Structure 1
Amino acid sequence: MTSGVKVSDEAKNCIESIKIRLAKEDPRDRFKALFFTINDEIGEIGVDKTIRIRDVDGEGQDAYKALKVKLQEYVACYVVYDCCYETKETEKNELIFIMWIPDLTKIKTKMLYASSKDSLKHALSACGIKHDWQINDTSDLLDQSAFLSKIGKGIIKLEGKDVKD
């Protein structure tokens, strides 16, 4: 089932820039997370909020925590998150697609987001999304171990911070 909702040109441009790393660009200007919402008046998925590396890079900053806080501000949204993590063997940078539709969201909104997901996923197809996560409950969002279990085993650092057991 599809809703007929299209992905805006602005959203496509942001998607393009999250997947391509240009040597000339300042790494701190790169997107860390893109938050997409549906404007049902015009039938488009657009970029509502962005988090850049410079926004979460520094003493006391935490990109994963910033993502969790920002997600809770939405009734529903999609997110593309450029996640950095480490295992004992390697450091990884992977794109994660998140569909956030809390249980308390109105049924009409839930149906619109669920049926429009494929439009955005199609626009993201060339990005190399490694993980797809649907979150419906704040407890799943707040539980770091649930997030880590979705992306892999043996993770010792998330966004440069030691993972708590």
Structure 2
Amino acid sequence: MANAASGMAVDDECKLKFLELKAKRNYRYIIFKIQDQQVVVEKVGNPGSTYEEFTASLPADECRYSVFDFDFTTDENCQKSKIFFIAWSPDTSRVRSKMVYASSKDRFKRELDGIQVELQATDPSEMSFDIIKARAI
């Protein structure tokens, strides 16, 4: 089903992989890209992947959507997990690309039921581990 605002469809694999991340914890992260007028899965990270490996997988000069399953321990010593949706839109990416990703983001995010925290980043410092940790708690 295409998005009227941007004409963007969402590949079924996007939803399937997200459900596997959410329910089975088969992946630590998923990176999505827009290709041929639809959102597709570009890369998945195995459950043992680190946050550093995830951020290194994002292209330096192209937009992407991603989800990251962040495990943390609360001050009360409870193990918790939150699923982050990160819209990566680096300053160095093309203006048209930024516009397409921005106009399609909300529709795509609605397809992924279970996202707990959303983050918009234009620079790696805006999605540093400390910021993720602070947003999770």
Distance 1:38 1:72 in 2: 13
> Which protein, 1 or 2, shows the higher relative CO under an 8 Å CA cutoff with sep ≥ 6?
1
Q: Which residue of structure 2 lines up, in the alignment, with residue 9 of structure 1?
A: 12
Decide which of 117, 121, 125 is 1:135's aligned counterpart: 121
Structure 1 residue 139: Cα displacement: 2.3
Decide which of 20, 26, 32 is 2:23's aligned counterpart: 20
Structure 1 residue 8: Cα displacement: 0.2
Relative to structure 1, the CA distance from residue 145 to residue 123 in structure 2 (aligned partners, 3 Å threshold; closer, same or farther) is same
Cα RMSD, aligned residues only: 1.8
The unaligned stretches of length 5 or more in structure 2 are: none
Q: How does 1:43-122 map to 2 (within 5 A)?
A: 43-54=37-48, 56=49, 63-73=50-60, 75-89=62-76, 90-122=78-110
8 Å CA contact 2:61–2:92 kept in 1: the answer is: no
Distance 1:108 1:38 in 2: 12
Larger gyration radius, structure 1 or structure 2: 1
**What is the number of equivalent residue pairs in this alignment?**
133
Structure 1 residue 70: Cα displacement: 1.1
3-state SS in 1 of match to 2:7: coil
Work out the percentage of aligned pairs sharing the same amino acid: 29
Moved over 3 A (4+): none
Distance 2:89 2:72 in 1: 25
TM-score, normalization: structure 1?
Answer: 0.74
Distance 1:80 1:68 in 2: 11
3-state SS in 2 of match to 1:67: helix
The unaligned stretches of length 5 or more in structure 1 are: 22-26, 57-62, 153-165
